[in-house]
Structure 1
Amino acid sequence: MIVIEHFLGQSVEVPDDRRYHIPQGLWCCKQDAFLVFGLTQPALVLMGGIKDVDWLRQEGEPVQSGDSAIFAITGKILYLETPIPGTVHYHKTLKEHLDILGKDPYGEGWLFKIRPVGDPWEAYHSLALPEKYLASLQASEGCKNPQGLKGGVSGICKAVYSGIGQQKLSKS
């Protein structure tokens, strides 16, 4: 397990025994004939957590790489895509127990699994190694703002945030 001590003001973990779909911060592990996917702790921190999810495909429906599979509400609306082709299967109790995403993101907090077309190991090895995922995090807001300062780290964000803080609002 790799620990990042200061990631947007939090300590986060990234398992070194999995593969990653970098664009959406998904981890992947192999389970029998399936590849199981979930959101990494860094992705959950950057999103501000997940408040609701809905399935966009039917259980067992064929999907292609890049198909939207989950509609999620975070601080924004997010469409999670399938990284590989196959048939999609969802974590059926997740909708009622979203808290497990934060409590156990690398175990019971999985989102969906895919039975890949063809060899599962080939699909698994098409995803990024942990080192590549960690390198991608270096350019993220989480690493650029290790203390988790409000307003972020860009000059414009800081100026806007501090300007809002200095405004005096009154009712007329």
Structure 2
Amino acid sequence: MSSIPQELSYTKEHEWVAGLDDGLTVTVGITAYAAESLGDVVFVQLPEVGATIEAGDAIGEVESTKSVSDIYAPVTGEVVETNDTVVDDPSLINSDPYGEGWLFRVRMEGDPEDLLTADEYTTVTTVES
């Protein structure tokens, strides 16, 4: 299993969130654990730019050769950017989930709830393994 970046926050549904300390806009992706569990990702559907999303809601999906999984909003806010590169080349989710494989950016509203630290997320993945 790949290492879990300490500087990110996580959800129990295996999304990661970057930029909480930088301001109101955060970057969201799925974790390496999720990507490894899915297998080869072949399709990704992201929320529309301008969409208002609610933390915990299913807002997109990732399809692999094994299954289809929902993408859940880790925070509430407005989608301000999507990663068109990952839509065109979904395999980036497998090859670089914390870098080029990011999914979308959100201008947050309010404080995020229920996000996990890297250590807390490690516990979640250990229990599921």
Contact 2:40 2:91 in 1 (8 A): no
Aligned partner of 1:110 among 102, 105, 108: 102
1:73 aligned residue? 63
Instruction: Determine what percentage of the aligned residue pairs are the same residue.
Output: 22
Equivalent positions of 1:12-91 (< 5 A) are: 12-22=2-12, 24-30=13-19, 32-55=23-46, 57-74=47-64, 75-88=66-79, 89-91=81-83
- After TM superposition, where is structure 1 displaced by more than 2 Å over at least 4 residues in a row? none
TM (norm. structure 2) is: 0.85
Aligned length: 125
TM (norm. structure 1) is: 0.66
1:137 aligns with 2:128: no
Equivalent positions of 1:111-126 (< 5 A) are: 111-118=103-110, 122-123=111-112, 126=114
Contact 1:20 1:130 in 2 (8 A): yes
Q: How far off its partner does 1:130 sit? A: 0.8
Judging by fraction of residues, say which structure has more helix.
1
RMSD of Structure 2 on Structure 1 (CA): 1.8
Distance 2:92 2:62 in 1: 15
Q: How far off its partner does 1:100 sit? A: 1.7
Contact 1:19 1:28 in 2 (8 A): yes
Greater relative contact order: 1 or 2 (C-alpha under 8 angstroms, separation 6 or more)?
Answer: 2
